[in-house]
């Protein structure tokens, strides 16, 4: 059985962003997962949890997201030694740092098939010397890879526009997305009215309230400043509204305006939920997903909301504008535009007929194009073609 090594900076990414995929592939290939060991919970490191859940062999290699020359050289050497020993047919990397290190190590080790998935480009919002450095690193990663897989068609265009690699080397797997979505797991039918009423009460939400929800990290680049300002303006005319912020929030690194931070802390109709293992209950009580992000790869958030039959308001960026079709299952607004965001939020609140139409259309396209096993089979076909 041929061997495939999948590499991510943090092993948790292999178990969450690619949940179930390594286990599926293990029926066809010997699979090995590589990433940082991760935090220890109840005596078990993240990488060990990955091994159990996916039923694959794992090898810890400590990697950092930041630029850390000495640690990076150590990780590069460790990866090289592993690849020489294991002799895989394919090394497939995910996340920026792991991509650079794994592709370079695999090339030195003469691994025949070196694949890298691009799930976002942090350089899009970078400027100056940082932008030049990120451009350079991206070019190194793609030069060492034999195939590059952006997880959206928009990302593919950005990569080609920047001349990071040759068009012959680049390909979107299936319809996009790194892992698709399990539509039997994300379905509104799992939640009864009784369960929803219990959560309404717990969060001090009136069932008649119109609930806007954001899923993701609470940071500037996700459009939180614009979202909070738009919601504050809407509240002046529509008191029966709530905004749920579901995701990790670190005030020191979020880079939010002071005005935004104060509004989140003091506005009783903005409910900061924090990071959640399972976001489905919060989507079950939501009316609209508001996701005004500045940049994405292929956002799972929008897939999840749509599968739960919730229309989305998204920025006109790659990934988002591939999942959402204007006026069909949601609406698309310009990036960093508070007025457009506010108008769209208000339109879905006031125009019940339009809102109901978007809601009815939200789930079906996701089931048709992004069902998880469909994505897995497309990737398997790609592996078999190499």
- Does residue 273 contact residue 282 with C-beta atoms inside 8 Å? yes
pLDDT at residue 36 greater than cutoff 90? yes
Given this model, what pLDDT does residue 134 score?
A: 76
Q: Looking at per-residue confidence, does 41 or 142 come out higher?
A: 142
Given this model, what pLDDT does residue 53 score?
A: 95
Confidence of residue 285 (pLDDT cuts 50, 70, 90): very high
pTM over 0.85? The answer is yes
pLDDT at residue 29 greater than cutoff 70? yes
Confidence of residue 128 (pLDDT cuts 50, 70, 90): confident
Given this model, what pLDDT does residue 137 score?
A: 86
Domain assignments of the chain as residue spans, ordered by start? 3-180+372-385, 188-369
Mapped onto helix, strand or coil, the DSSP state of residue 242 is strand
pLDDT tens column, 221-233: 999 999 999 999 9
Mapped onto helix, strand or coil, the DSSP state of residue 291 is strand
> What distance in Å separates the CA atoms of residue 138 and residue 230, rounded to the nearest whole number?
35
| Token digits of residue 376 | 């897995």
Given this model, what pLDDT does residue 20 score?
A: 96
Given this model, what pLDDT does residue 146 score?
A: 98
Q: Distances in Å between the alpha carbon of 362 and those of 163, 329, 350?
A: 35, 5, 19
> What distance in Å separates the CA atoms of residue 122 and residue 263, rounded to the nearest whole number?
27
Confidence of residue 130 (pLDDT cuts 50, 70, 90): confident
> What distance in Å separates the CA atoms of residue 55 and residue 290, rounded to the nearest whole number?
36
Confidence of residue 195 (pLDDT cuts 50, 70, 90): very high
Q: Which CATH architecture has domain 3-180+372-385?
A: 3-Layer(aba) Sandwich (3.40)
Confidence of residue 123 (pLDDT cuts 50, 70, 90): low
Confidence of residue 126 (pLDDT cuts 50, 70, 90): low
Q: Looking at per-residue confidence, does 120 or 137 come out higher?
A: 137
| Token digits of residue 15 | 């178990």
- Same fold across 3-180+372-385 and 188-369: yes
Determine what percent of the chain is predicted with pLDDT higher than 70: 98
pLDDT tens column, 171-184: 999 999 999 999 99
pLDDT at residue 120 greater than cutoff 80? no
Residue with tokens 């109709």: 269
Given this model, what pLDDT does residue 66 score?
A: 84
pLDDT at residue 2 greater than cutoff 70? yes
- Does residue 138 contact residue 129 with C-beta atoms inside 8 Å? no
> What distance in Å separates the CA atoms of residue 301 and residue 287, rounded to the nearest whole number?
15
pLDDT at residue 247 greater than cutoff 70? yes
| Token digits of residue 333 | 């607004």
Given this model, what pLDDT does residue 131 score?
A: 73
Least confident of 20-34, 110-124, 234-248, 309-323: 110-124
Fold type of domain 188-369:
Rossmann fold (3.40.50)
DSSP-derived secondary structure letter, 169: G
Mapped onto helix, strand or coil, the DSSP state of residue 211 is strand
Given this model, what pLDDT does residue 37 score?
A: 94
Given this model, what pLDDT does residue 122 score?
A: 66
pLDDT tens column, 320-368: 999 999 999 999 999 999 999 999 999 999 999 999 999 999 999 999 9
Given this model, what pLDDT does residue 124 score?
A: 62
pLDDT at residue 121 greater than cutoff 80? no
Mapped onto helix, strand or coil, the DSSP state of residue 312 is strand
Q: What is the mean pLDDT of the chain?
A: 95
pLDDT tens column, 63-90: 998 889 999 999 999 999 999 999 999 9
- Does residue 376 contact residue 317 with C-beta atoms inside 8 Å? no
């Amino acid at each position: 059985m041929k061997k495939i090594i999948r590499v991510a900076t943090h092993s948790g990414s292999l178990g969450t962003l690619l949940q179930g995929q390594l286990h599926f592939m293990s029926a066809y290939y010997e699979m090995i997962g590589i990433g940082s060991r991760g935090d220890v919970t109840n005596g078990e490191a993240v990488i060990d949890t990955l091994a159990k859940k996916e039923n694959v062999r794992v090898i810890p290699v400590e990697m950092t997201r930041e630029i850390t020359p000495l640690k990076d050289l150590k990780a590069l050497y460790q990866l090289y030694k592993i690849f020489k020993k294991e002799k895989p047919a394919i090394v497939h990397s995910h996340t920026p740092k792991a991509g650079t290190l794994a592709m370079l190590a695999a090339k030195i080790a003469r691994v025949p098939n070196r694949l890298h998935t691009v799930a976002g480009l942090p350089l899009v919002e970078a400027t100056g010397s940082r932008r030049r450095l990120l451009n350079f690193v991206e070019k190194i990663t793609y030069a060492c890879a034999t195939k590059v897989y952006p997880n959206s068609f928009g990302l593919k265009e950005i990569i080609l526009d920047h001349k990071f690699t040759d068009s012959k080397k680049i390909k979107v797997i299936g319809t996009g997305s790194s892992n698709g979505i399990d539509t039997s797991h994300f379905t509104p039918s799992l939640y009864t009215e009784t369960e929803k009423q219990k959560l309404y009460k717990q969060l001090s939400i009136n069932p008649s309230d119109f609930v806007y929800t954001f899923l993701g990290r609470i940071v500037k680049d996700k459009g939180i400043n614009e979202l909070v300002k738009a919601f504050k303006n809407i509240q002046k005319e529509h008191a029966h509204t709530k905004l749920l912020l579901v995701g990790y929030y670190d005030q020191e690194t979020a880079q939010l305006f002071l005005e935004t931070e104060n509004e989140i802390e003091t506005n009783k109709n903005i409910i900061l939920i924090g990071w959640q293992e399972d976001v489905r209950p919060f989507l079950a009580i939501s009316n609209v997903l508001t996701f005004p992000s500045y940049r994405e790869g292929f956002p799972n958030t929008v897939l999840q909301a749509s599968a739960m039959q919730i229309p989305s308001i998204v920025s006109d960026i790659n990934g988002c504008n591939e999942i959402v079709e204007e006026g069909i299952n949601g609406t698309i607004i310009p990036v960093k535009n508070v007025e457009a965001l506010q108008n769209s939020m208000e339109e879905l609140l006031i125009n019940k007929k339009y809102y109901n139409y978007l809601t009815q259309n939200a789930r079906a396209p996701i089931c048709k194009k992004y069902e998880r096993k469909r994505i897995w089979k497309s990737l398997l076909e790609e592996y078999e073609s190499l």
